[in-house]
Chain A
Amino acid sequence: MNATLALVAITLTVAAAVLVGAFGNRLSRTTSDFYVASRAVSPGLNASAIGGEYLSAASFLGVAGLVLAYGVDMLWYPVGYTVGYLLLLVLVAAPLRRSGAFTIPDFAQGRLRSMGVRRAASLLVVVIGWLYLIPQMHGAGLTLRTILGSPTWVGIVVVAGVVLVAVAGGGMRSITLVQAFQYWLKLFAIAVPVFFLVAAWRADGAPEVLTEVPPEFRERTTVTLSADTLIRVEESVVVDADGTLDGRPEDGAVQLPAGEYEVSAGSTLVFPAGATVPTVSSLPTLSGPEWAFPLSNGQDQPLYRVYSLMIALFFGTMGLPHVLVRFYTNPDGQAARRTTLTVLGLVGVFYLAPPIYGSLGRLYTPELLLTGRTDAVVLALPGALVGGTIGQLLSAVVAAGAFAAFLSTSSGLVVSIAGVLSQDVLSARLGSPVRSFRVATAFAVVVPVLLALGGQRLGIASMVGLAFAVAASSFCPLLLLGIWWPRLTSRGAIAGLAVGGGLSALAVLTTIMLGPTGGWTGALLAQPAAWTMPLAFVTMIVVSLLTPSHIPPGVRRIMVRLHTPESLDLDRGQNLTGRGGRWP
């Protein structure tokens, strides 16, 4: 692939982010500047900004990658990301805006009048934010590797560096217009190539995606493996090898009977046209029907996994740290609802595209199943299918879109994490709020970088699914009960956050550290939401009922604030903003 165009496109995206970080500092100096500027914009622009922040590497790269590898069941990911906004709309959006809280810890403290709940919520913001940041870093590493062939850590360090500079320098999120622009850039970058891809597929005679057999190489294909890889050959094949197979150096034609082979890093295999694509041992080899029809993709307990994933995504969206803060930029509760509905539409339109990439990838980039880097399908497909100058242009466009996705989501998350770290952990120790915010930013970036470099390599969208599982098991019950159930107590909230957040985080960490495992244990650990979310609800409710003396004073007034329209002249007590001006 000619990398120059893509590199130019990425550089422009990155430069824009850094410049905006620098100018953002001058344009919006204080918290209220940020919010007031945002209030001068329309709900449509506001919704674009939310969409720009929400569509991350998981949406841009991960969904298509999962569809390529596992097929139709993975469509629940984009459906879940969108249904999450419907739940946010009907249960949370207006009351949360009316609460006046900027962040979940603010809401928790204001609603329950308890510093303990605030601390528990702050800890969870950091955990969820870091879990969500790791796959963004992986996505950046993968993108630069696909385009330039650079080692994975290069992309990780580049994105981390840009986010660090942009956020510590002024916060790129401070400008609604830029986040809104990021949404439209991402939509353009993923949607426009689709038309060219489909046209090229039709010009190719519209070959069947749904064939009876696993994917085949359509033409003589050269595959270079950049890491030691265990591959599974389904059908005996003669390859032209240059490298090390099962520890033996090979140079020339080799017959590979069906079986598993250890291929060393740097080896090159040339497959003849029509050969069945061997699969990396961590992915299933699926025939067309197994891939195209539900619940047959070779994972253990597919039905449980689908349901648990649905619970995590449906109920997790409302608890994502970078989503909530933008609700404050709506003038009132009704505007918050309308903005949320617009986001629902914008996000839904975006998700029409990734399944098309994943499907066409079965035909035109099947070698990704062999290297295991299925998340690269969005990046690789335009070059492989369209080709020529147009193919290079399209590759550059998707690469820029992918970087926009990493940068906007990562900076939103880093601002949220750094805000919590600096206010609740560092500011007492460091004194100056600006200094503590900068130290916190560095900390917020460095930890997920280390985890991304060290941990097991899970799919980008699966990894993001884990962050949703923790959010669904902790902040979802906190928000829903906090908004709709006056009898929630601080004790109940803390117990529920500890049980739900603790257990789901534990399950997730086990999966990250040990890698995915099979059987019921593997399914329960890889998709914990189905058991941790109900457990969190039950704990919060039972403990609250047992500690009625801890119902916060003034809860009636708070309910008035949360649920009555602003146009009514009523005594609503104080904003639930915790300790006043919160944002650095």
Chain B
Amino acid sequence: MTDPVAPRRVVVKGPTRTHPVERAVPGGREIDEQTGVGEAYMGSLMRTQLRLALKVLAMVLVPLALLPLIFAAFPLIAELMVGPVPLPWLILGVGVYPVLVFVGWRFIRQVERNEAEFERIVSQR
């Protein structure tokens, strides 16, 4: 089981940068020099992203966290049969997974949109 394709050798280098450079994007300098405007950019980016992350997590974690309570409080739901399979097995054994993938997919679309928007704002100034 050897690797049939020998990995190509590529030189990896960090961005070599001598000090203050003229940024292609005007807002970039504000961020580099940590001016009030730059800090405002960064603060707004982090807040937007964190808010999105928490929103996505709330959408998934709150229903999941309620499940055991619902099962404990309403035995009728916990013992509901869907064909030959009890409902909790269907939810936890099958149903959760596509939901997780779908939510993750929507998150990526939105988070990348946020990043593009940030780039746009920073470049505009």
> Which A residues contact B (CB, under 8 angstroms)?
16, 19-20, 23, 27-28, 32-33, 35-37, 39-40, 72, 75-76, 79, 82-83, 85-87, 89-91, 94, 175, 177-178, 181, 208, 210, 289, 292-295, 303, 306-307, 310, 314, 334, 337-338, 340-341, 344-345, 348-349, 351-352, 355, 484, 556-557, 559-560, 563-565, 567-571, 575
Q: Judge whether B40 is part of the interface by a CB distance below 8 angstroms.
A: no
> Closest approach, in angstroms, between the C-beta of B33 and any C-beta of chain A?
9
Given contacts A20-B2, A310-B64, A355-B89, 16 further A-B contacts (CB under 8 A): A33-B7, A39-B10, A40-B8, A72-B89, A75-B88, A83-B61, A210-B84, A289-B79, A293-B78, A295-B71, A307-B68, A340-B104, A344-B101, A351-B97, A564-B118, A569-B28
Q: What residues of A have a CB within 8 angstroms of the CB of B71 in the complex? A: 293-295
Q: What residues of B have a CB within 8 angstroms of the CB of A563 in the complex? A: 42, 45-46, 49
> Closest approach, in angstroms, between the C-beta of B25 and any C-beta of chain A?
6
> Closest approach, in angstroms, between the C-beta of A375 and any C-beta of chain B?
19
The contact sample of 21 A-B pairs, CB cut-off 8 A, is A33-B7, A33-B9, A75-B88, A85-B100, A90-B52, A90-B107, A210-B84, A292-B86, A303-B68, A310-B64, A314-B61, A341-B105, A344-B101, A563-B42, A564-B42, A565-B118, A570-B23, A571-B17, A571-B31, A571-B32, A575-B14
- Give the 7 A-B CB pairs with smallest separation, nearest first: A37-B7, A348-B97, A75-B92, A294-B71, A90-B53, A571-B32, A565-B115
* Cα(A292)–Cα(B93), bound, Å: 12
The proximity string for B residues 47-64 relative to A, scoring 1 for CB distances below 8 Å and 0 otherwise, is: 001101100110011001
B window 66-119: CB within 8 A of A: 68-69, 71-72, 75, 78-79, 84, 86, 88-89, 92-94, 96-98, 100-101, 103-105, 107-108, 111-112, 115, 118-119
Q: What residues of B have a CB within 8 angstroms of the CB of A36 in the complex? A: 7-10, 12
Q: What residues of B have a CB within 8 angstroms of the CB of A40 in the complex? A: 7-8, 10
Q: What residues of B have a CB within 8 angstroms of the CB of A344 in the complex? A: 100-101, 104
Q: What residues of B have a CB within 8 angstroms of the CB of A33 in the complex? A: 7, 9
Q: Is the CB of B25 within 8 A of A568?
A: yes
Instruction: Specify which of B89, B100, B108 is in contact with A348 (CB 8 Å cutoff).
Output: B100
Q: What residues of B have a CB within 8 angstroms of the CB of A79 in the complex? A: 64, 92, 96
Q: What residues of A have a CB within 8 angstroms of the CB of B98 in the complex? A: 348
Q: Is the CB of B45 within 8 A of A564?
A: yes
* Cα(A560)–Cα(B32), bound, Å: 9
Q: Which of A16, A19, A307, A345 has the most CB of B within 10 A?
A: A345
Q: Is the CB of A294 within 8 A of B78?
A: yes
Q: Is the CB of A569 within 8 A of B25?
A: yes
* Cα(A340)–Cα(B118), bound, Å: 23
* Cα(A310)–Cα(B46), bound, Å: 27
Instruction: Specify which of A82, A94, A292, A570 is in contact with B96 (CB 8 Å cutoff).
Output: A82
- Nearest neighbor of B115 in chain A, beta-carbon distance: A565
Instruction: Specify which of A32, A292, A570 is in contact with B89 (CB 8 Å cutoff).
Output: A292
Q: What residues of A have a CB within 8 angstroms of the CB of B97 in the complex? A: 82, 348-349, 351-352
* Cα(A43)–Cα(B45), bound, Å: 26
Given contacts A83-B60, A91-B53, A175-B3, contact A72 B88 (CB under 8 A): yes
Q: Is the CB of A83 within 8 A of B64?
A: yes
Q: What residues of B have a CB within 8 angstroms of the CB of A294 in the complex? A: 68, 71-72, 78, 88
Tell me what chain B mostly uses at the interface: helix, strand, loop, or mixed.
helix
Q: What residues of B have a CB within 8 angstroms of the CB of A307 in the complex? A: 65, 68
Q: What residues of A have a CB within 8 angstroms of the CB of B3 in the complex? A: 23, 27, 175, 177-178
> Closest approach, in angstroms, between the C-beta of A99 and any C-beta of chain B?
13
Q: Which of B45, B68, B86, B98 has the most CB of A within 10 A?
A: B68
Q: Is the CB of B89 within 8 A of A345?
A: no
Q: What residues of A have a CB within 8 angstroms of the CB of B88 in the complex? A: 72, 75, 293-294
> Which B residues contact A (CB, under 8 angstroms)?
1-3, 6-10, 12, 14, 17, 23-25, 28, 31-32, 34, 39, 42, 45-46, 49-50, 52-53, 56-57, 60-61, 64-65, 68-69, 71-72, 75, 78-79, 84, 86, 88-89, 92-94, 96-98, 100-101, 103-105, 107-108, 111-112, 115, 118-119, 122
Given contacts A75-B92, A310-B65, A349-B97, contact A337 B23 (CB under 8 A): no
Q: What residues of A have a CB within 8 angstroms of the CB of B56 in the complex? A: 86, 90
Q: Is the CB of A303 within 8 A of B72?
A: yes
* Cα(A557)–Cα(B60), bound, Å: 32
> Closest approach, in angstroms, between the C-beta of B104 and any C-beta of chain A?
5
Q: Is the CB of B93 within 8 A of A75?
A: yes
> Closest approach, in angstroms, between the C-beta of B114 and any C-beta of chain A?
10
* Cα(A307)–Cα(B107), bound, Å: 25
Q: Is the CB of B12 within 8 A of A86?
A: no
> Closest approach, in angstroms, between the C-beta of B53 and any C-beta of chain A?
4
Instruction: Specify which of B8, B24, B25, B42 is in contact with A560 (CB 8 Å cutoff).
Output: B42
Instruction: Specify which of A210, A295, A314 is in contact with B68 (CB 8 Å cutoff).
Output: A295
Given contacts A27-B2, A294-B68, A571-B17, contact A352 B93 (CB under 8 A): yes
Q: Is the CB of B111 within 8 A of A86?
A: no
Q: Is the CB of B7 within 8 A of A341?
A: no
Q: What residues of B have a CB within 8 angstroms of the CB of A355 in the complex? A: 89, 93
Q: What residues of A have a CB within 8 angstroms of the CB of B78 in the complex? A: 293-295
* Cα(A83)–Cα(B6), bound, Å: 36
Given contacts A79-B92, A351-B97, A556-B42, contact A89 B12 (CB under 8 A): no
Q: What residues of B have a CB within 8 angstroms of the CB of A341 in the complex? A: 101, 104-105, 108
Q: Is the CB of B119 within 8 A of A567?
A: yes
- Nearest neighbor of B23 in chain A, beta-carbon distance: A569
> Closest approach, in angstroms, between the C-beta of B121 and any C-beta of chain A?
11
Q: Is the CB of A565 within 8 A of B119?
A: yes
- Nearest neighbor of B71 in chain A, beta-carbon distance: A294
Q: Is the CB of B72 within 8 A of A345?
A: no
Given contacts A293-B88, A556-B42, A565-B118, contact A86 B7 (CB under 8 A): no
* Cα(A289)–Cα(B31), bound, Å: 61
- Nearest neighbor of B6 in chain A, beta-carbon distance: A27
> Closest approach, in angstroms, between the C-beta of B42 and any C-beta of chain A?
6
* Cα(A334)–Cα(B112), bound, Å: 8
Q: Is the CB of B12 within 8 A of A32?
A: yes
* Cα(A35)–Cα(B10), bound, Å: 10
Q: Is the CB of B31 within 8 A of A560?
A: yes
* Cα(A431)–Cα(B23), bound, Å: 44
* Cα(A341)–Cα(B56), bound, Å: 14
* Cα(A157)–Cα(B65), bound, Å: 41
Q: What residues of B have a CB within 8 angstroms of the CB of A568 in the complex? A: 25, 28, 118-119, 122
